[in-house]
Amino acid sequence: MGFMNRFKHFLGDQLLGNNWGVHPDDHKRPAADAPVRVMPVPARLYLPLQQHLGGAARPTVLVGQKVSKGELLAEATGMVSAPLHAPTSGTVVAVTEVTAPHPSGLSLPAIILEADGADEWCELTACADPFALTPADIGRRVAAAGVVGLGGAAFPSAVKLGGALRAEVTTLVINGGECEPYLSCDDRLMRDAAAGIVDGIRLMLHATGARVALVGIEDNKPEAIAAMQAAAAEFAAVQVRPVPARYPMGSEKQLIQVLTGIEVPADGRPADIGVIVHNVATALAVRAAVREGKPLISRLVTVNGNCVAAPGNVEVRIGTLAEEVIAFAGGLKGDGLGLARRIMGGPMMGMQIPHWRVPVVKGSSGILALDAAEVAAAEPDPCIRCGSCVKACPMGLLPLEMSARIRNEAYGEAIDYGLKDCIACGCCAYVCPSKIPLVQYFVHAKGELAAQDRAKLRGEATKKLALQRQERLDREAREKAEAAAKRKAEREAAAAAKAAAEAAASAAPAAAATVGEGV
Amino acid sequence: MIAAVLSLTLLGAALGIILGIANKFLQVEGNPVVDELIAMMPGSNCGQCGFPGCSGAATAIVDGSAPPTCCPPGGKALAVAIAAKLGLAVDLSAIADDGPKIAVIAEELCIGCCRCSKVCPTDAILGAAKQIHNVFREACTGCSSCIEKCPTEALVMRPVPVTLQHWVMPKPLAA
């Protein structure tokens, strides 16, 4: 970032009182300037069934089945879900569990595909004039291609497009912010494939009925801004807007506020104010899905960090192990000596992973190998109430107050301080002079509250089951008693009838005798 | 001086009488605290506490005749919540709570006798005579009423498996 930019930010911050966020060292170059390397298909691909938000996909292939590139491996389940396609041609060798790109180190069900080396596409249904399609048709094609948000959250794109159409949004915000330090895959994509991205944006405009698309790009990416402006020059509906480089500019609520001046309400969604946000890489994936019928089977991943020998961007197939991506990108310096932390995603919001044998999924934007100098591993000191975290918080919360509540497990009070509005961006922990792991407290509290909610729902469900069982037992006892009473009544009636009959029989001979006597 | 003393005494006496009448005529039937405790408890009436169902246990806890730790399925979390509600000190070392548990049936040992499914308070065990039984994870409250009914020891209590969806980031160590 140049001196002028810093000056501009300083002026803007001070004059507008708009000084949320942090300015970490971006570490984007030289990785951003190196040309993209295309990684060959590895021998085996590890494809988790849940690479998106929502329900896990359901496998539609059998072990031993041969599939071609782009063929459906697992179908979407439920309203919010995405299908999974074969990133190359080959044989399904197992449906098993693999380590998830997640800090817990737990595993996820996954399909393992052995590549046959031919890399042959299945039959694709291209579309020559996608603007003749109805918005719903575009949504269907995007859903069938398994496109999810490629910025990191991996929300199924078709669900978002459909929701935007129903909510009648007016503005499409395209996120080219890439505010996370170290990452440059979106930057590279905008430089190399600006025309394709703009085409994808126009398709998304058509699919959502929005009138204008605002492409927000941080001003530390001048090449990407120039390329996008050139590509969008002939389309009035697509406007490229440079935004100040500041973390977390790429968070949807912050980007919307900077570009449109409207704030997303605390308990609302962007669609409530007529806006939806999509990532630039998602726009390109939408274009491939709609124009060529190609499913999402590969993505650009930034390999970066002080331990990486040759930082850069690599195009990899989904399901490639991080280990193999690093090896292809040039390996680690000194065979990984001095490696302090492995991260998938960005350094601020990415996932720390336990080892390198973790597959690249649809939402993986980076693979980072950080050394001890890049990792803040100091022992936390007590809070000095300096208020740095309050200034940095982009949501205007009070991290110091919330973390104090959470430390004492007063989660309810933390909610009153706005815990639910926390986007877990990590600005607070980044600026804290006492190195208090503030954002870790908030992530913990959110998980704990979700667990409490689940336990409560479960408790209610089991209580209902216990009540139903009691009702059933009562009913059965009652029915048994009624049946017994009925049988008893029948028995008594039968006995009475028999007695009556006997009485009649004994009366009849008597009568006959009388008659006889009378004769 | 006398006027002040008299007026305050009269006021106190009048208010006292009103309170006394209110106590007589507006008395609440039952103890509302007991109802609140019942709402907090698992509600499966498994009987492991030795009282007739959850309402019995709640009454006993409020009386003081049972400790807040008497509910095994509720575990540590419930004990802490009850103690906080009643303002009691609670000795958590008494309960060995290593997280929630559920019953699991070893299929190779199950003979399909139906004894476990009959005692399950939430109908969480599925099975018919001479068919292998199974436990619905979502419905099992971990009360372990079924464990001792099993003639072949096919039923065991296992910790609920941690999945990616249920994982909670551990709390950072305090500064």
Distance (Å) from the alpha carbon of B109 to chain A's nearest alpha carbon: 26
Q: Judge whether A106 and B167 are in contact, CB under 8 Å.
A: yes
The whole-chain average pLDDT of chain A stands at 91
Q: Is residue A478 in a domain?
A: yes
Contact between chains at A104 and B174 (C-beta distance less than 8 A): no
State yes or no: pLDDT of A320 exceeds 50.
yes
High-pLDDT (> 90) share of chain A, %: 83
Contact between chains at B123 and A406 (C-beta distance less than 8 A): no
Residues of chain B contacting residue A447, judged by C-beta atoms under 8 Å apart: 167-169
Q: Is residue B1 in a domain?
A: no
Helix (H) or strand (E) holding A223: helix A222-232
State yes or no: pLDDT of A94 exceeds 70.
yes
Mutate to test the interface with B, among A81, A434, A438, A463 (most CBs of B within 10 A): A463
Q: How many CB atoms lie within 10 A of CB A272?
A: 12
Residue B144, domain extent: 99-161
State yes or no: pLDDT of A518 exceeds 50.
no
Confidence of residue B38 (pLDDT cuts 50, 70, 90): confident
pTM of the model: 0.82
Mean pLDDT in residue range A410-417: 93
CA pair distance A280, A178, nearest whole angstrom: 10
ipTM above 0.90, yes or no: no
Confidence of residue A519 (pLDDT cuts 50, 70, 90): very low
- Burial group, residue A26, by CB count within 10 angstroms (0-12, 13-18, 19+): buried
Contact between chains at A465 and B124 (C-beta distance less than 8 A): yes
Do B103 and B71 share a domain, yes or no?
A: no
For the CA atoms of A248, A254, A260, A261, what is the dihedral angle to 10 degrees? Answer: -120
Distance (Å) from the alpha carbon of B172 to chain A's nearest alpha carbon: 6
CA pair distance A261, A274, nearest whole angstrom: 13
Mean pLDDT in residue range A41-68: 95
The whole-chain average pLDDT of chain B stands at 86
Instruction: Of A43-47, B31-35, B146-150, give the lowest mean pLDDT range.
Output: B31-35
State yes or no: pLDDT of B35 exceeds 70.
yes
Residue A488, domain extent: 380-500
CATH no. for residue B56? 1.10.15.40
Phi/psi region, residue B123 (left: phi>0; alpha: psi -120 to 50; beta: rest), is left
Question: Which residues on adjacent β-strands are paired with residue A332?
Answer: A308
Confidence of residue B37 (pLDDT cuts 50, 70, 90): confident
Predicted confidence at residue B175, as pLDDT, reads 54
Burial state string for B40-55 with b = 16 or more CB within 10 A and e = fewer than 16: bbbbbbbbebebebbb
Q: Judge whether A183 and A305 are in contact, CB under 8 Å.
A: no
CA pair distance B124, B44, nearest whole angstrom: 11
Q: Is residue B80 in a domain?
A: yes
Distance (Å) from the alpha carbon of A22 to chain B's nearest alpha carbon: 23
Q: Is residue B114 in a domain?
A: yes
CA pair distance A297, A489, nearest whole angstrom: 75
Contact between chains at B138 and A440 (C-beta distance less than 8 A): no
Confidence of residue A1 (pLDDT cuts 50, 70, 90): very low
Among A382, A447, A466, beta carbon nearest to B169 = A447
Contact between chains at B43 and A382 (C-beta distance less than 8 A): no
The one-character DSSP state at A497 is H
Q: How many CB atoms lie within 10 A of CB B21?
A: 10
The residue written with tokens 């939430």 in the block is: B122
Residues of chain B contacting residue A106, judged by C-beta atoms under 8 Å apart: 162-164, 167
**What 3-state DSSP class applies to A515?**
helix
CA pair distance A191, A177, nearest whole angstrom: 14
**What 3-state DSSP class applies to B111?**
coil
Q: Judge whether A422 and A397 are in contact, CB under 8 Å.
A: yes
Q: Judge whether A441 and A397 are in contact, CB under 8 Å.
A: no
Q: What's the structural domain count of chain A?
A: 1
Size of interface A-B (CB pairs under 8 A): 77
Q: Which token pair is A336?
A: 């990984």
Highest average pLDDT, of A211-220, B47-56, B128-137, comes from A211-220
Contact between chains at B44 and A466 (C-beta distance less than 8 A): yes
Residues B155-167 have pLDDT tens digits of: 999 988 888 888 9
Last residue within a domain, chosen from B51, B86, B121:
B86
| A510 interfaces chain B, CB cutoff of 8 Å | no
CA pair distance A498, A500, nearest whole angstrom: 5
Residues of chain A contacting residue B138, judged by C-beta atoms under 8 Å apart: 458, 461
Distance (Å) from the alpha carbon of A453 to chain B's nearest alpha carbon: 11
- Burial group, residue A379, by CB count within 10 angstroms (0-12, 13-18, 19+): exposed
Residues A146-186 have pLDDT tens digits of: 999 998 889 999 999 999 999 999 999 999 999 999 999 99
User: What HEC string does A113-124 produce?
Assistant: EEECCCCCECCC
Instruction: Of A9-13, A117-121, A350-354, A357-361, give the lowest mean pLDDT range.
Output: A9-13
Q: Which token pair is A317?
A: 């197939």
CATH no. for residue A453? 1.10.1060
Q: Which of A 86-125 lie inside 8 A of B, CB atoms?
A: 100, 102-104, 106-108
Predicted confidence at residue A6, as pLDDT, reads 59
State yes or no: pLDDT of B27 exceeds 80.
no
Do B157 and B104 share a domain, yes or no?
A: yes
Confidence of residue B64 (pLDDT cuts 50, 70, 90): confident
Q: Which token pair is A199?
A: 């085409």
Q: How many CB atoms lie within 10 A of CB A408?
A: 10
Mean pLDDT in residue range A455-481: 90
Residues of chain A contacting residue B164, judged by C-beta atoms under 8 Å apart: 50, 100, 102, 104, 106-108
Nearest CA in chain A to B171: A444
State yes or no: pLDDT of A463 exceeds 90.
no
Nearest CA in chain A to B142: A462
Mean pLDDT in residue range B39-61: 84
Distance (Å) from the alpha carbon of A103 to chain B's nearest alpha carbon: 8
Confidence of residue A356 (pLDDT cuts 50, 70, 90): very high
High-pLDDT (> 70) share of chain A, %: 94
Mean pLDDT in residue range B81-108: 80
Does a cis peptide bond (omega within 30 degrees of 0) precede residue A248?
A: yes
Contact between chains at B171 and A100 (C-beta distance less than 8 A): no
Mutate to test the interface with B, among A462, A467, A468, A469 (most CBs of B within 10 A): A462
Q: Is residue B92 in a domain?
A: no
The one-character DSSP state at A41 is P
Contact between chains at B43 and A459 (C-beta distance less than 8 A): yes
Contact between chains at B166 and A451 (C-beta distance less than 8 A): yes
Mean pLDDT in residue range A23-44: 94
Q: Which of A 410-469 lie inside 8 A of B, CB atoms?
A: 434, 436-437, 440-441, 443-444, 447-448, 450-451, 454-455, 458-459, 461-463, 465-469
Do B109 and B156 share a domain, yes or no?
A: yes
CA pair distance A160, A275, nearest whole angstrom: 11
Q: How many CB atoms lie within 10 A of CB B72?
A: 18
Do B137 and B111 share a domain, yes or no?
A: yes
Residues of chain A contacting residue B139, judged by C-beta atoms under 8 Å apart: 461-462, 465
Q: Is residue A397 in a domain?
A: yes
Q: Which of A 345-384 lie inside 8 A of B, CB atoms?
A: 380-383
Count H helices and E strands in chain A, helices first: 14, 17
Q: Which of A 211-230 lie inside 8 A of B, CB atoms?
A: none
State yes or no: pLDDT of A2 exceeds 60.
no
Q: Is residue B17 in a domain?
A: no
CA dist list (Å): A54 to A80, A358, B169 = 5, 21, 20
Q: Which residue has the higher pLDDT, A22 or B32?
A: A22
Mean pLDDT in residue range B59-65: 87
Confidence of residue A512 (pLDDT cuts 50, 70, 90): low
Mean pLDDT in residue range A1-12: 54
CATH no. for residue B117? 3.30.70.20
Which amino acid does the sequence have at A472?
Answer: R
Residues A226-260 have pLDDT tens digits of: 999 999 999 999 999 999 999 999 999 999 999 99
Distance (Å) from the alpha carbon of A96 to chain B's nearest alpha carbon: 15
Distance (Å) from the alpha carbon of B55 to chain A's nearest alpha carbon: 13
Closest among A513, A103, A117, A64 to A344, alpha carbons compared: A103
User: What HEC string does B112-140 produce?
Assistant: CCCHHHHHCCCCCEECCCCCCCEECCCCC
Please give the full DSSP string across B30-84, using - where no structure is assigned: S-HHHHHHHHHS------TTSSSHHHHHHHHHHHTSS-TT--TTTHHHHHHHHHH
Among B42, B166, B169, beta carbon nearest to A462 = B42
CA pair distance A490, A383, nearest whole angstrom: 84
Among B121, B166, B175, beta carbon nearest to A434 = B175
Which amino acid does the sequence have at A69?
Answer: K
Confidence of residue A15 (pLDDT cuts 50, 70, 90): very low
Distance (Å) from the alpha carbon of A68 to chain B's nearest alpha carbon: 30
High-pLDDT (> 90) share of chain B, %: 27
Residues of chain A contacting residue B171, judged by C-beta atoms under 8 Å apart: 406-407, 441, 444, 448
Confidence of residue A5 (pLDDT cuts 50, 70, 90): low
Beta pairing class for A107-115 and A44-48: antiparallel
Closest among A48, A37, A38 to A319, alpha carbons compared: A48
Q: Judge whether A314 and A36 are in contact, CB under 8 Å.
A: yes
Distance (Å) from the alpha carbon of B41 to chain A's nearest alpha carbon: 9
Mean pLDDT in residue range A365-383: 89
Contact between chains at A440 and B169 (C-beta distance less than 8 A): yes
Mean pLDDT in residue range A246-275: 92
Predicted confidence at residue A13, as pLDDT, reads 53
Which amino acid does the sequence have at A378?
Answer: A
Nearest CA in chain B to A440: B172
Closest among A422, A28, A425 to A218, alpha carbons compared: A28
Burial state string for B122-152 with b = 16 or more CB within 10 A and e = fewer than 16: bebbebeeeebbebeeebbbbbbbbeeebee
CA pair distance B138, A188, nearest whole angstrom: 47
Query: Is the C-alpha dihedral spanning A247, A249, A251, A254 positive or negative?
Result: positive
CA pair distance A453, A465, nearest whole angstrom: 18
Q: Is residue A394 in a domain?
A: yes
Mean pLDDT in residue range B46-50: 82
Query: Is the C-alpha dihedral spanning A492, A496, A497, A502 positive or negative?
Result: positive
Q: How many CB atoms lie within 10 A of CB B165?
A: 11
Q: Judge whether A149 and A278 are in contact, CB under 8 Å.
A: yes
Q: What's the structural domain count of chain B?
A: 2
Residues of B with CB under 8 A from a CB of A: 42-45, 77, 121-124, 138-139, 141, 162-164, 166-175
Q: Which residues does A234 contact at the CB level (< 8 Å), separation at least 6?
A: none
Q: How many residues does chain B have?
A: 175
**What 3-state DSSP class applies to A491?**
helix
